[in-house]
């Protein structure tokens, strides 16, 4: 099988509210969608990059450029097997060491395409690629447990209402963004107000080169984990900090590749891994990290990048793998969007879980009219 065409579709969607982290805030999300075509079948993928290069050096613009000028040619030249096409393409694109989000967007589209061609839901295809397939003898999950990520708010009353609403909606875990000076007092106030709710903090590298005393104070506040407190390249710092804390450190930005994650586990730099496939360069690498952590008895969960429904459905599918044993940052569509680009929308049940689609591929339809409503630009690249 050969990929015959790639649609690059840049959209800009307004968020339902301001979302802020230690790296800054946004009120709208730039998104690059990729649609792959082969033998009359199409599949959808999404890059994790936004417009400003805060979380990563990649942006929607750089992903567009790298795909159009470099990755598309290798994609079109690849002769892919009927089964394992997406994984094979991932190996081809891995020759480009950098730009993981650009690579991931294409590979993701081909995962969806392959699942549709084979008439199976995407989660089954991901399971097929994992070494843990059927290892525990359990039936595949049809619902996935989710938590919610809440950004930094200038007023506690706003955050208080957001937590109230999230708990009432059924979210299983609350994640709060923190930064230096907006940490210990914040978590203490939340504990005083809400008691022993499942709570974690995410620093997004916010304490890089800074005093870690606030993090040590948080150690006595019953947090599920503290996510990525130090710099993205500071495995030694994380390892040293973990020896001083009983609260598990969860690595996000520092788990940037399969090899880097293996090094982190060897150094005991964290006790939990947040898997973001776009950051890792594709779903194949995400599955590899999942399997690696399983061999080391390290729990994983699926992180979110404020995805549209396309990326969200891919995340739901991969979170069915057995190692994803904690609440994931998946959320319902209405957490971020007044109207998602998929139909039906992802909805949160009263059990704090979202349904895993059972139809082929990502399982839901992408609504072209909604995509066009938010369109910035688009192009179609075709095989020579």
Query: Which of 12, 175, 276, 338 is the catalytic position?
Result: 276
Token pair, residue 251, equals: 């690595």
224 in Cβ contact with 200 (< 8 Å): yes
Query: Which of 12, 175, 177, 246 is the catalytic position?
Result: 177
The C-alpha atoms of residue 152 and residue 193 are separated, in whole angstroms, by 17
The C-alpha atoms of residue 244 and residue 239 are separated, in whole angstroms, by 9
The C-alpha atoms of residue 245 and residue 349 are separated, in whole angstroms, by 35
22 in Cβ contact with 205 (< 8 Å): yes
Nearest-CA neighbor of 340 among 354, 326, 353?
354
Whether 161 is catalytic: no
Q: Listing from the earlier edge strand, what are the strands of the sheet with 24-38?
A: 41-46, 24-38, 5-21, 375-382
- 71: DSSP letter: I
Cis link prior to 344 (omega < 30° from 0)?
A: yes
330 in Cβ contact with 312 (< 8 Å): yes
CA angle 207/57/72 to nearest 5° reads 150
Whether 276 is catalytic: yes
Catalytic residues: 177, 276
């Amino acid at each position: 099988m050969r990929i015959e065409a790639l649609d690059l579709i840049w959209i800009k969607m307004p968020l339902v509210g301001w979302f802020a982290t230690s790296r800054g805030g946004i009120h709208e999300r730039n998104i690059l969608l990729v649609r792959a075509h082969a033998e009359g079948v199409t599949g959808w993928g999404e890059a994790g990059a936004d417009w400003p290069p805060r979380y990563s050096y990649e942006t929607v613009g750089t992903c567009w450029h790298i795909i159009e000028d470099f990755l598309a040619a290798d994609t079109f030249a690849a002769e892919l097997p009927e089964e394992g096409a997406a994984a094979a393409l991932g190996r081809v694109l891995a020759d480009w060491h950098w730009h993981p989000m650009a690579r991931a967007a294409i590979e993701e589209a081909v995962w969806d395409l392959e699942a549709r061609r084979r008439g199976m839901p995407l989660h089954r295809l991901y399971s097929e690629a994992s070494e843990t397939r059927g290892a525990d003898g359990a039936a595949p999950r049809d619902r996935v447990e989710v938590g919610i990520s809440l950004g930094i708010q200038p007023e506690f009353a706003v955050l208080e209402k957001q937590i109230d609403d999230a708990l009432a909606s059924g979210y299983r875990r609350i994640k709060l963004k923190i930064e230096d000076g907006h940490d210990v007092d914040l978590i203490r106030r939340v504990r005083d107000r809400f008691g022993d709710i499942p709570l974690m903090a995410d620093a997004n590298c916010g304490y890089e080169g800074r005093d870690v005393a606030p993090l040590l104070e948080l150690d006595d506040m019953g947090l599920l984990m503290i996510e990525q407190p130090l710099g993205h390249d500071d495995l030694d710092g994380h390892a040293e900090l973990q020896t001083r804390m009983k609260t598990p450190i969860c690595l996000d930005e520092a788990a940037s590749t399969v090899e880097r994650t293996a090094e982190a586990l060897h150094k005991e730099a964290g006790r939990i891994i947040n898997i973001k496939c776009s950051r890792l360069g594709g779903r194949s690498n995400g599955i590899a990290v999942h399997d690696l952590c399983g061999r080391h008895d390290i729990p994983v969960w699926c992180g979110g990048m404020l995805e549209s429904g396309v990326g969200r459905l891919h995340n739901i599918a991969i979170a069915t793998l057995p190692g994803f044993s904690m609440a994931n940052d998946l959320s319902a569509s209405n957490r971020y969007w007044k109207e998602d680009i998929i139909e039906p929308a992802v909805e949160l049940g009263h059990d704090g879980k979202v349904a895993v689609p059972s139809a082929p591929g990502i399982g839901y339809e992408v609504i072209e009219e909604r995509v066009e409503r938010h369109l910035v630009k688009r192009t179609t690249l075709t095989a020579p």
